[in-house]
Amino acid sequence: MTAVAANVPLVDAFPAFGAVVGDALDHLWVAEFKRPADEYEGTVWTVFDGEGRMLGLVQTPEILTVFEIGEDYILGEGTDDLAVEYVKMWGLVRGVEAEAVPEGGD
């Protein structure tokens, strides 16, 4: 361990959430804050309706930074293996087991 790392204080708490985004249906998407020790990939979002009722969970890919959530899509920025950034639209299937899937099956 380097001297710099040894002097970095450990945190007592983490943020309650990582991001908040509203969608085209007036639902609120709240991203879980991902701690460094978390082993799952991507971002897990809890989706709430306009009355504050939880509608479900959606997991988006690690590479996706969400810009906009429509009725049947998620628009965001991705990064490929060469660290090239690109804008991509992901299909969104709403329902009991909603998921974000890349348009065209990528």
Q: What would the 3-class secondary structure string for the chain be?
A: CCHHHHCCCCCCCCCCCCEEEECCCCCEEEECCCCCCCCCCCEEEEEECCCCCEEEEEEECCCCEEEEECCCEEEEEEECCCCCEEEEEEEEECCCCCEEEEHHHC
Q: What pLDDT was estimated at residue 1?
A: 53
pTM as predicted: 0.74
Query: Residue 99: is its pLDDT beyond 80?
Result: no
* Res. 19 pLDDT band, cuts 50 70 90: very high
* Res. 101 pLDDT band, cuts 50 70 90: low
Higher pLDDT, 3 or 25: 25
pLDDT, mean of residues 1-12: 73
Question: Is there a contact between 33 and 15 (Cβ–Cβ < 8 Å)?
Answer: yes
